[in-house]
A and B are shown apart, each in its own frame.
Chain A
Amino acid sequence: MKEFDQRWQTLAKNAGRLSAEGLPELPFGFTARVIAGSREVVRESWDDLLGAMGLRAVLASACLCLVSAGFAFSEWYSFRIERPELEQSFTNELPWP
């Protein structure tokens, strides 16, 4: 299939020659339409927001969330282990009525 890749490159190079030729002039009224369009109120979509933040930032914050959730869980778990001992010591110290 290496030959296919070489043939594809030849085809793409020929096709690329067209993209460089014959670009049209600036259409009539184009500038006015762009300026008017850019003045409309923009509402950032989630896609734009994620794009602006960058995928890496999102991944980093997700990792931080996981780590903090891990810490919270280990705290809660160790508290659960210690609890029966506390209860035992208290009940032992209680005087009989």
Chain B
Amino acid sequence: MPDAFDVQACIVRVRAGDERASAALIEHLHPLVRRLVRNHLPRRESEEDLAQMAFIKVFQKLDSYQWREGFPFERWVSRLTVRTCLDALRAERSRPEWRMADLGEGEAEWMDFLLNRQAEPPAQSPSDAKAIVTRMLALLSAPDRLVLTLLDLEQRSTLEISQITGWTRAMVKMRAMRARVKLRQVARRVMKTEFTES
């Protein structure tokens, strides 16, 4: 069995300027950061570039990190990464408009399921489901998108979201509720445009 990675010891070495420790820390955190970046990626941003930006912030702010009971280093990194993604999402000026006609076959099936025109979920690959979720979420504001991604896509609890974002739990619940209302409005709008087109 491989030895567990000692994060705290590695941080001490990174602070002392050890480049090999920095490389080891990046390798250890890469899957976590990459997964978060992938889920909160703005439309025109490269996944690798945003992950790099998040890592740079982690290293630049490493001196301000202090170990606390119940707040592991990975959560601190997650918070910085999510904040970096939120800034990138906010910087995204335009929200793409799309219509049912723009969708591929698998995506259209998922959309039909969502709009209650198909009883069973389609047996398509998750990539089509992800494409529809991304399209729908791209029509929401950055904080709404963030909270729904964390809650529904990543299946995190409100407590976890509160720890990652720094928002209170009540705020997370309120934002999620408002975001869901907006999501329904978006779906209704998509349906309406389809009927006016046909």
Chain A interface residues toward B at CB < 8 A = 1, 3-5, 7-21, 23-24, 26-27, 30-31, 33-35, 37-38, 42, 47, 51-52, 54
Q: State whether B153 touches A35 (Cβ < 8 A).
A: no
Q: State whether A34 touches B83 (Cβ < 8 A).
A: no
Q: State whether B114 touches A7 (Cβ < 8 A).
A: yes
Residues of B within 8 A of A52 (CB): 64
Q: Which of B26-34, B68-76, B94-102 contacts A (4 or more CB under 8 A)?
A: B26-34
**Chain B window 159-171, contacts with chain A (Cβ cutoff 8 Å), 1 for yes, 0 for no:** 0000000100000
Q: Which residue of A lies closest to B114 (CB)?
A: A7
Q: A19-B130, A24-B34 are in contact. Are A35 and B59 (CB under 8 A)?
A: yes
The main secondary structure of chain A at its interface with chain B is helix
Q: Which residue of A lies closest to B32 (CB)?
A: A23
Q: State whether A18 touches B127 (Cβ < 8 A).
A: yes
Q: Which range contains the number of B residues in contact with the other chain?
A: 35 or more
Cα A11 to Cα B187 in complex, Å, equals: 13
Q: A26-B30, A30-B48, A38-B59 are in contact. Are A4 and B184 (CB under 8 A)?
A: yes
Q: Which residue of A lies closest to B62 (CB)?
A: A38
Residues of A within 8 A of B39 (CB): 19
**Chain B window 178-198, contacts with chain A (Cβ cutoff 8 Å), 1 for yes, 0 for no:** 001001100100000000000
Q: State whether A38 touches B113 (Cβ < 8 A).
A: no
Residues of B within 8 A of A5 (CB): 180
Q: In the assembled complex, how far is the CB of residue A26 from the closest CB belonging to chain B, in whole angstroms?
A: 5
Residues of A within 8 A of B187 (CB): 4
B104 in contact (CB, < 8 A): no
Residues of B within 8 A of A26 (CB): 26-27, 30
Cα A30 to Cα B133 in complex, Å, equals: 29
Residues of B within 8 A of A31 (CB): 22-23, 26-27
B15 in contact (CB, < 8 A): no
Q: In the assembled complex, how far is the CB of residue A28 from the closest CB belonging to chain B, in whole angstroms?
A: 11
Q: In the assembled complex, how far is the CB of residue A42 from the closest CB belonging to chain B, in whole angstroms?
A: 5
Closest 4 CB pairs between A and B?
A38-B59, A14-B129, A12-B152, A15-B130
